[in-house]
Structure formats: C-alpha cells, structure tokens
Amino acid sequence: MIDPKEEPEVAEDMKSVARASRSGDRPVPVGARLLDLYQAATYTGLSYWTLRDYVADGVLPVVKLPGGRQRSRGGIVTRKAGDGSTRKILIDREDLDRLIARSKQNWG
C-alpha cells in the first residue's frame, strides 16, 4: 500500500485511476476512428447512458462490422455475421464530431 504522506503524486495518480475505472472512462486511442460507447463517452464528455439513448433513438448511427459465424454441431448456421444485438456497439468519431457541430447554439 502506498502511504500518501510519503509519495503524494503517486497516491493521487492511483486515486485518479480508481475514479476513472469506477466511472467507466476508457482512454481514447489517438488514431482510432471507431470507438466503443465508453470511449465515445470519454471523447464527448457525455455519459455512456446518454450515448446509448442517442443510438437507440437513431440520433447517433452505429457501425456494424462483419464478424465470424457460429455453427451448431450439425453444421447449421445459428447466427450470421452482423446479426443479433449482442455485437459490440461502435461509433464513428466523425459522427460524434457531426453531432457536436449540429448541437452548437449561441447564447444570447
């Protein structure tokens, strides 16, 4: 255990890591174009649940990439690529930028 009196900078870094992991913040890769909902939330400053609502309401489009196939023992395809709602939700960074741009308003 780190004693905060001995190494205050390290102790503060540990606290910020703990806060980030509890809040669901995930680092946004610098060159990544596709982000998961947690990374998109970090990128925009919105909550995960707000972005998920935007996706459900059709305000924010998602990217569905083809995946593998799952087969039963009899060789019958049980799920084709891109089917089902269990696929990871990916958001294009450019769509996030457009959402921000069209949401801008002048005060006053």
* Predicted pLDDT at 18: 39
Domain assignment of residue 50, yes or no: yes
User: Which one-letter amino acid corresponds to residue 65?
Assistant: L
Q: CA dist 27 to 7, 31, 38, 58, Å?
A: 25, 12, 9, 25
Residue spans of the chain under pLDDT 70: 1-25, 67-87
Domain assignment of residue 15, yes or no: no
Task: Give the structural domain span for 94.
Answer: 20-67+76-102
Domain assignment of residue 2, yes or no: no
For every residue of 53-100, DSSP letters joined together read: HHHHTTSS--B------EE-TTS-EEE-TT-SS-SPPEEEHHHHHHHH
Domain assignment of residue 51, yes or no: yes
Q: How many domains does the chain have?
A: 1
* Predicted pLDDT at 51: 95
This prediction has a pTM of: 0.60
Domain assignment of residue 1, yes or no: no
* Predicted pLDDT at 30: 85
